[in-house]
Amino acid sequence: MYTLIDGKLLAAEMRGELKEKTQLFEKERGRKVGLAVVLAGDNPASQVYVRNKIKACDEVGIKSFAVYLPQNVTQSVLEQAVKELVSNCAVDGVLVQLPLPEHIDAESVLKLIPAEKDVDGFSAENTGKLLLNEQSLVACTPHGVMKMLEKYKIDTKGKRAVVLGRSNIVGKPMAVLLLNADATVTVCHSKTQNLKEECLRADIIVSAIGKPKFLTADMVKEGAAVIDVGMNRDEAGKLCGDVDFDKVKEKCSYITPVPGGVGPMTITMLMYNAYYAAVRSKT
Ligand code: NAP
């Protein structure tokens, strides 16, 4: 019998707690926690993500600053917008929604966000601190996965964890967080040989590959905990994860659904990061 990890419920609980914290912050500092979101271009998925982030800000009592720029925005206009948000003391965190239009040098834009306002946790400084196991703003998706493991009391100490995917925003920080939580971590990617054997040894599998039904039941050890970060569309256009959920769940101790698993936790951790940045700010 498996336990379904309810990301939606967990996120709602955490947002309730966060709302109380932001209210207290407002009372003490005389201002709200502020989060700025920059959206450049007309990518429909990005528009949905930004809308959801603003909705979440409203829900937890964070003031949102949204800047919308056209698809043909120039590098200098975009950079100027980010600079203005960064220097605004009512803004505790700045997030630039990715991907940016192709003609934009995204790295230069992201470098304008100082570590203390880098609520996505993508900067070299925050990534470095994570590696050193120092307090920092941690990338939201892997941070959300760790909260799920913690809340469902899934032990990581001495356990074998396999992370599928090595992107800078999910796979790598995920592996470091698990390592910092005393798991024995293996990271798999497109060049990994014997990936199935690696997975079969795992007590915990976190899949962040981006391929529907990639992780099948024959790749999962009986009793493993499976966390599905993937957000894909199946042949019918339906949202699905990386895991062949219906078959894999029968072998698991714990499993996350898609939708309703990691997704809601990611936005919640963004809110958490904005609050964390605000508490540490001098304003
Ligand atoms: P990404 O940058 O495309 O990275 C994918 C990783 O998967 C790469 O490291 C790649 O290996 C590896 N990979 C691809 N095909 C593979 C294969 N056949 N075997 C083994 N490894 C393979 O993606 P990402 O940004 O990390 O996102 C991964 C998934 O998570 C996507 O579905 C994305 O939509 C989803 N996501 C969800 C959330 C959420 O909140 N739920 C947040 C972020 C991302 P190489 O490095 O060798 O190319």
Tokens of 31: 């201002």
Question: What's the chain's average pLDDT?
Answer: 97
Q: Is 97 a catalytic residue?
A: yes
For ligand 1, atom 35: residue with the closest CA: 230
**Ligand 1 centroid to residue 128 C-alpha, Å:** 21
pLDDT in tens, 221-277: 999 999 999 999 998 999 999 999 999 999 999 999 999 999 999 999 999 999 999
Q: Is 55 a catalytic residue?
A: no
For ligand 1, atom 15: residue with the closest CA: 190
Tokens of 186: 């293996």
Tokens of 170: 């999910």
Mean per-residue pLDDT, 79-98 = 98
Mean per-residue pLDDT, 147-169 = 98
Nearest atom in ligand 1 to 266's CA = 40
Q: State the residue for tokens 């920080």.
A: 173
What is the pLDDT at residue 61?
A: 98
**Ligand 1 centroid to residue 89 C-alpha, Å:** 35
What is the pLDDT at residue 200?
A: 98
Q: Which of 278, 256, 270, 222 is nearest to 52 (CA)?
A: 270
What is the pLDDT at residue 133?
A: 97
Of the candidates 6, 118, 120, 228, the residue annotated as catalytic is: 120
What is the pLDDT at residue 86?
A: 98
What is the pLDDT at residue 105?
A: 98
CA–CA distance, 254 with 234 (Å, rounded to integer)? 23
Q: Which amino acid is at 75?
A: Q
User: 175 pLDDT band (50/70/90 cuts)?
Assistant: very high
Q: Is 80 a catalytic residue?
A: no
